[in-house]
Structure 1
């Protein structure tokens, strides 16, 4: 007779089952730790994206003026400068101490002359331990900036003349003279700081006198129809003049493109109407021929 194994009955309490299952499951992180890891990932991705969008080879200026010139002589002048540079180059009564926040109302007041046009002072930022601020000036006549105190170190000339190929061209020149020197006190400048003057032009450039800072060789227009004139901060503080000359077509690239588009659109509409008229005319002739045949 075959012997069957004895059956052993094991009874487990619910608490024992729960403890054994918990021992087999991976440890669960606390909500606080999970949030910390998520925040770290978001910050890391943000830093990677910021690094990807930043050009490490791009020029950084201690002081720069970017002039957006219109073919009608209107202009928008964007000035980006450190507070010590504003003091050293333009003699503005500002506190260059990097621990002192920038007083935007005070900066706006220094540009309150009517010749400066409409003034906007944007949010300051810090770079290399120095505080920077951006000032935007809008003026109907670029030559008025010569009477605006903080930009009066430049003389501006804007003239529309007859072009050799017909139509008109714009002749623009600007001479940046000596600074109005101020004392910014001790500043952590290294001697490699640059000053830039950029012209954002709306039309095809016929002539310019850009020279490369490195070797003085003729330069070229940057992408976006931008001409960049540069000096070292030391040369600018020493009063070395900077001459900028430009000749460009008297009609903006945008206007020319719009006129070309309008002409092409009008030609397409005219062609379409001609085709429709031809089809209708042909159909009428065919109908008349059928009527004549039916009458016969």
Structure 2
């Protein structure tokens, strides 16, 4: 699944091609996404100009010019296997290319999603009031995400610290890959109860999460089977992963064997020597 760095990489990749452009045509080949494509999608978009793209957690927000006051922005989620890419007029659609937004300069914003778990819908109000976004925690690279917040929210929690960190009400966008990597950098056993992690260690964990996510964004996201950036390039952060996907291999710190466990129904790899 594309995680926060992949979505941010997509935003940065497509923004120069779509911001300020007018929409000439919209082609929907498959409406049956996780949420069906709105019935008025094509008609409501044609003739409108795209504003500055935003991101909240794993959602992309695409503001639109008037006159439709109640249809001011799109909310786009890539789901498990979706991608937004830039194509040109004449580039034939491939299987699973479900939506084309054709721009006034001949470029196309094209949505590809083999599993159809993503969606595009109207943003209801703004990012603070839309029910899909209103209860989300802070962005991990924002000043609102701190070790003190983690420490405060974790008191009395028996839940393991890794699924606690992955809770979108605690902080958004720290998915399985980046939670595993952050816990390794912070030296924290992912099985440890969230309520039994000290304030000092949470400060290290918050710093580690920011470091891992910032590095992944800089390098274009993590190379997953389905992920490519908005310009069709794969991510490269996987070349630097310390634990994720490396079960049975040697720890880069101590050379001990990395262990594979299951936490919250998700696979998790860690070093029992370096993470306590």
Task: Report TM bin, short chain.
Answer: under 0.3
Alignment TM-score, normalising by the size of structure 1? 0.21
Alignment TM-score, normalising by the size of structure 2? 0.22
| Structure having the larger proportion of residues in helix | 1
* Structure with greater contact order relative to length (CA < 8 Å, sep ≥ 6): 2
Larger Rg: 1
